[in-house]
């Protein structure tokens, strides 16, 4: 099972992104615990829907921040967001259709996100820091704009 605790080497050097990534890991940790304890399927669906919603919101924020900072690797980064969202949607649809979410599938998802943090988000973090871009470009994005 992939580790699901936040650790310092996951930091991308930008507090707002780190806070979002920490929340994603908290949601995944909650799902992992729920699966391990064999929780009610309705609760699992509810928690998984929250993970999908938050992921969509978080990726949209990052895409706005990348656009504001004229980040050159935005396309590749967005492609990876899409890949993760497609996987999340497939698992959520399976859950809705009565299939079980397995610890193995959850582990794969966690691994995908950890790789995303370490490669794509870290690369954007380095770009912001190296170019001394103002963190005001990373101002909070109102969540209601996306739902
Ligand atoms: Fe990202």
pLDDT one-digit tens code per residue, 17-28: 999 999 999 999
Q: How many domains does the chain have?
A: 1
Distance from Cα 40 to the centre of ligand 1, integer Å = 31
Distance from Cα 62 to the centre of ligand 1, integer Å = 6
Domain that holds residue 130: 12-146
**In this predicted structure, what is the pLDDT of residue 66?**
93
Count of CB atoms within 10 A of residue 24's CB?
20
Distance from Cα 27 to the centre of ligand 1, integer Å = 16
**In this predicted structure, what is the pLDDT of residue 3?**
54
Q: Has residue 30 been placed in a domain? A: yes
Distance from Cα 59 to the centre of ligand 1, integer Å = 6
11 DSSP assignment:
-
| The model scores a pTM over 0.85 | yes
Distance from Cα 4 to the centre of ligand 1, integer Å = 17
CATH number for the domain including 109?
1.20.120.50
Count of CB atoms within 10 A of residue 136's CB?
7
Residue pair 18/58 in contact by the 8 Å Cβ criterion:
no
Residue 133 phi/psi, 5° resolution? -75, 145
pLDDT in single tens digits along all 147 residues of the chain: 545 889 999 999 998 899 999 999 999 999 999 999 988 989 999 999 999 999 999 999 999 999 989 999 999 999 999 999 999 999 999 999 988 899 999 999 999 999 999 999 999 999 999 988 877 777 777 665 554
């Amino acid at each position: 099972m992939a580790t699901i605790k936040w650790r310092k080497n996951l930091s991308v050097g930008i507090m707002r992104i780190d806070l979002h990534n920490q929340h994603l890991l908290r949601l995944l940790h909650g799902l992992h615990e729920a699966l391990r304890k064999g929780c009610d399927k309705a609760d699992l669906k509810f928690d998984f829907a929250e993970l999908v919603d938050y992921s969509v919101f978080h990726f949209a924020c990052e895409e706005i921040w990348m656009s504001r900072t004229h980040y050159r690797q935005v396309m590749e980064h967005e492609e990876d967001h899409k890949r993760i969202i497609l996987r999340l949607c497939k698992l959520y649809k399976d859950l809705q259709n009565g299939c079980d979410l397995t610890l193995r599938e959850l582990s794969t998802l966690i691994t995908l996100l950890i790789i995303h943090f370490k490669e794509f988000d870290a690369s954007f973090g380095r770009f912001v820091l190296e170019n001394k871009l103002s963190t005001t470009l990373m101002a909070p994005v109102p969540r209601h704009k996306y739902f």
